[in-house]
Amino acid sequence: MLKWLLLSLICVLCFSAVAQDAPVFTPPQVMTFREAIIYGGPGIANPQIGMLYADQPVMLIERNNIGSWVRIHQFDAAGNLARGGWILSGYLQDRGALRFSEVPVNTTVADNNPDWASAFSQRELFAVPYISAISPAMVEVYRRGLEMGNQPNVITKVGDSLVASREYLTPMANPIRALNAFDYLNATVDYYGTSMVVPSAAASIGLSSFAVVDPMWADPAFGCQPGETPLACEYRVKKPVVAFIMFGPNDVRAMTDVGFGQQMRAIVQQTLDAGIIPVLSLFAIHPNDQYAPQATNFNRQLIALANEMQVPLINLWAASRILPNYGLDVDNIHLTYSGYDTLFYDAGNEAYSGVALHNLLSLRMLYAIQQAVAGIEAEAEMTPEITPALEGNT
């Protein structure tokens, strides 16, 4: 009996020591600078719990896996919990003082609840998280890509004017930035940023999912060879490990959803064959746009393709639903600009600008990929080269 008492005492002491070493998060008091609806989860497809007015103090409890939403508690004058729920982190004052690397992450909460979708046709889109998990299949694609000579710190863009925009991912190459609250993304930008200096041969104004695999659209200025497609040219010249791919806003006006799905499948397959991780993205659409129903079907094609081929998927459509005009400019096609040519997140621009939000989601996806493949490059370098036995030897 004495033996078991001693063992129990040792376990308690060990647990206490671990608990003392573990950092304790003290929820900071933060202020909102504008009105904010409190939701039951980190997305608009959740019940609305209440309203916060400007300059109201709340306690920051935790964040979603991106940091774009935070869960807060509001207390009454007597110090009792009045209400709690989720608001956009972009509505908080003094964002430069926050560090989301220090805020607990809720890894179990769903971004949206399809049951709260305003239309039945949106349920499938709201069921997809803002950032998908990285599948083991993509880790193997990365490993194979390194064996094929792909550069571990190089990424690229594939798409039309929304992707070709110098405000999308290109600011990663600018050493001037203010990620501030999103401090956990700094190392990712440091590692991949330089590769965004050179424009992509597979991203340009007017490019479609058909044109990117058509040699007629290849520009010799990028080093493209005769008969080579823009996609093949970009992958051969740059040798990236990740390609951010988005088509749809232009294609939806010129082709069927089935044809779009077939074209995107061919693009994804060619990317995988090159040992490159393709990151797909759902695209935003205004609900009053004449092509809105067709756009929903296009996005469904992308969801089905991502699920089948186990490739990463960014749900820009769902994430942008809360933005002014759904994150779209006056033409309801292009995303609204933040007005900065740098990664500037001190003023909560991702809560207003479609491009700023798209950048944030893409950086968070790149961060997830970087974490998933960590160590593979070093592992490949440490693996000794095996010399085949000479014929006739045993």
- Looking at the structure, do residues 219 and 365 belong to the same domain, yes or no? yes
* pLDDT score for 382: 52
Q: Say if residues 231 and 218 touch (Cβ distance below 8 Å).
A: no
Q: Say if residues 222 and 257 touch (Cβ distance below 8 Å).
A: no
- Looking at the structure, do residues 148 and 230 belong to the same domain, yes or no? yes
- Looking at the structure, do residues 69 and 180 belong to the same domain, yes or no? no
User: What CA–CA distance (Å, rounded) separates 337 from 85?
Assistant: 29
- Is 87 within the bounds of a domain? yes
* pLDDT score for 21: 52
Categorise residue 52: left if φ over 0, alpha if ψ from -120 to 50, beta otherwise: beta
- Looking at the structure, do residues 182 and 284 belong to the same domain, yes or no? yes
User: What CA–CA distance (Å, rounded) separates 273 from 49?
Assistant: 48
- Structural domains counted in the chain: 2
Degrees, nearest 5: CA angle 374-311-336: 95
- Looking at the structure, do residues 46 and 128 belong to the same domain, yes or no? no
- Looking at the structure, do residues 127 and 85 belong to the same domain, yes or no? no
- Is 190 within the bounds of a domain? yes
- Is 215 within the bounds of a domain? yes
- Is 319 within the bounds of a domain? yes
Domain that holds residue 353: 117-380
- Looking at the structure, do residues 166 and 61 belong to the same domain, yes or no? no
Domain boundary among 46, 78, 102: 102
* pLDDT score for 9: 39
Q: Say if residues 169 and 362 touch (Cβ distance below 8 Å).
A: yes
User: What CA–CA distance (Å, rounded) separates 73 from 299?
Assistant: 35
Q: Say if residues 234 and 271 touch (Cβ distance below 8 Å).
A: no
- Is 247 within the bounds of a domain? yes
* pLDDT score for 26: 84
- Looking at the structure, do residues 229 and 279 belong to the same domain, yes or no? yes
CATH code of residue 59:
2.30.30.40
* pLDDT score for 24: 74
Pairing of strands 57-63, 29-31: antiparallel
Per-residue pLDDT 10s for the chain (394 aa) are 434 334 333 343 443 443 445 467 788 889 888 899 999 999 999 999 999 999 989 999 999 999 999 999 998 888 889 889 999 999 999 888 899 999 999 999 999 999 999 888 899 999 999 999 999 999 999 999 999 999 999 999 999 999 999 999 999 999 999 999 999 999 999 999 999 999 999 999 999 999 999 999 999 999 999 999 999 999 999 999 999 999 999 899 999 999 999 999 999 999 999 999 999 999 999 999 999 999 999 999 999 999 999 999 999 999 999 999 999 999 999 999 988 889 999 889 999 999 999 999 999 999 999 999 998 866 655 544 433 333 333 3
* pLDDT score for 381: 57
User: In this structure, which long-range contacts are made by residues 183-190, counting pairs with CB atoms below 8 Å and at least 24 apart in sequence?
Assistant: 183/99, 183/100, 183/101, 184/67, 184/100, 184/101, 184/367, 185/363, 185/364, 185/367, 188/363, 188/366, 188/367, 188/370, 189/343, 189/363
- Looking at the structure, do residues 135 and 61 belong to the same domain, yes or no? no
Tell me the one-letter amino acid at 364.
R
Q: Say if residues 150 and 275 touch (Cβ distance below 8 Å).
A: yes
Q: What is the pTM of this model?
A: 0.89
- Is 107 within the bounds of a domain? no
- Looking at the structure, do residues 98 and 121 belong to the same domain, yes or no? no
- Looking at the structure, do residues 84 and 129 belong to the same domain, yes or no? no
- Is 222 within the bounds of a domain? yes
User: What CA–CA distance (Å, rounded) separates 150 from 236?
Assistant: 9
- Is 196 within the bounds of a domain? yes
- Looking at the structure, do residues 94 and 128 belong to the same domain, yes or no? no
Q: Say if residues 241 and 145 touch (Cβ distance below 8 Å).
A: yes
* pLDDT score for 388: 37
Domain boundary among 102, 132, 159: 102
* pLDDT score for 204: 96
CATH code of residue 154:
3.40.50.1110
* pLDDT score for 387: 35
Domain boundary among 102, 130, 147: 102
